[in-house]
């Protein structure tokens, strides 16, 4: 198989951990269809030897992919690619990048704005910071398989992520940067969801045909220890996106 055979290799000097790199490689292979559902992947010993890492390190990557529902394993038999479950996401708090990847598409972004501004009253209230504090505003057109899918505007307190203005968020998940660069681990979020008509600018950017409505989603995200991290306004194309929720 390609992963063991090809020249894919790890960057041991990179600041991103080895097991993260392995996760990305496997996720890519699954998203691209190189690894199909229920297909067996090479054994842990085989893979770790091929990649030149210890089995424990390889295993850390596999375990996370399993807990994400992307792989499953049978003791004594092997590790397999899970069925692509459309139903899966969104009991969990996932980034656009994860969400789209788990639907078997390639996520990407086009950064429209990445700037500092002074928090207006309503934003400061939502994020519980003093009005006028520095806020990072990141506006991205979100693509799935190169097609515009959503328009997303994130607001974060600048104190939480100084220097994020210089990050290239075209290919990288903002949540990934928050976690690896700033140690910000997201815990929970509150969302409100509504159907609405797009405004002219949204219709233009999303290349929306006449009459197609959008899903407008507001999200307030906090860390595991209760600090408010970001307020996001998203606008999803109604004809290409479905939200999945599990209730209890």
Chain residues in the site for DNA (CB under 7 A): 17-20, 41-46, 52-57, 59-60, 62, 73-79, 183
CB of 161 to DNA, least distance (A): 13
Of 23, 104, 94, which Cα lies nearest the Cα of 61? 23
Q: Are 220 and 190 in contact (CB under 8 A)?
A: yes
9, 196, 199, 204: which one binds a second copy (CB under 8 A): 196
Element (H, E) at 4: helix 2-5
* Binding of residue 91 to a second copy (CB under 8 A): yes
Residue with tokens 């997201």: 186
191, 202, 203, 233: which one binds a second copy (CB under 8 A): 191
* Binding of residue 69 to a second copy (CB under 8 A): yes
CA 196 to chain CA centroid, nearest Å: 24
* Binding of residue 243 to a second copy (CB under 8 A): yes
Task: State both tokens at 44.
Answer: 């842990």
Task: State both tokens at 151.
Answer: 């328009």
Q: Residue 201 half-sphere exposure, CB side, CA atoms within 13 Å? A: 5
CB of 193 to a second copy, least distance (A): 4
> d(Cα 173, Cα 183) in Å, to the nearest integer?
14
Which one, 34 or 80, has the nearer CB to a second copy?
80
Q: Are 195 and 216 in contact (CB under 8 A)?
A: yes
Q: Are 41 and 34 in contact (CB under 8 A)?
A: no
CB of 246 to DNA, least distance (A): 24
Which of DNA, a second copy, none binds 93 (CB below 5-8 Å, type-dependent)?
a second copy
Q: Which stretch binds a second copy (CB under 8 A): 39-47, 107-115, 165-173, 187-195?
A: 187-195
CB of 99 to DNA, least distance (A): 22
Q: How far apart are the first and last CA of the chain?
A: 41
For binding to a second copy (CB under 8 A), which residues are involved? 38, 56, 66-67, 69, 72, 74-75, 80, 82-83, 85, 87, 89-93, 183, 185, 187-197, 211-215, 223-226, 236, 238-239, 241-248
């Amino acid at each position: 198989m390609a992963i063991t055979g090809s020249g894919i290799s790890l960057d041991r000097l990179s600041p991103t951990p080895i097991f993260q790199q392995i996760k990305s490689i496997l996720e890519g292979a699954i998203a691209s269809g190189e690894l199909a559902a229920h297909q067996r992947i090479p054994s842990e010993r085989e893979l770790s030897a091929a990649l030149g890492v210890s089995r424990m390190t390889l295993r850390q990557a596999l375990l996370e992919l399993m807990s994400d529902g992307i792989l499953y394993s049978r003791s004594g038999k092997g590790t397999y690619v899970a069925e692509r479950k459309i139903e899966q996401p969104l009991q969990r708090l996932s980034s656009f990048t994860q969400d789209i990847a788990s639907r078997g598409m390639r996520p990407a972004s086009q950064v429209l704005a990445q700037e500092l501004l002074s928090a207006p009253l309503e934003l400061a209230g939502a994020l519980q910071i003093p009005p006028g504090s520095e806020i990072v505003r990141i506006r991205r057109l979100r693509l799935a398989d190169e097609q515009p899918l959503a328009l997303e505007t994130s607001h974060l307190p600048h104190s939480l992520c100084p220097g994020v203005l210089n990050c290239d968020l075209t290919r990288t998940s903002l949540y990934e940067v928050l976690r690896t660069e700033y140690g910000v681990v997201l815990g929970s979020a509150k969302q409100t969801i509504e159907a609405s008509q797009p405004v002219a600018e949204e219709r233009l950017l999303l290349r929306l045909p006449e009459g197609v409505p959008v899903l407008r989603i507001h999200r307030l995200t906090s860390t595991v220890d209760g600090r408010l991290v970001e307020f996001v306004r998203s606008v999803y194309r109604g004809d290409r996106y479905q939200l999945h929720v599990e209730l209890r």
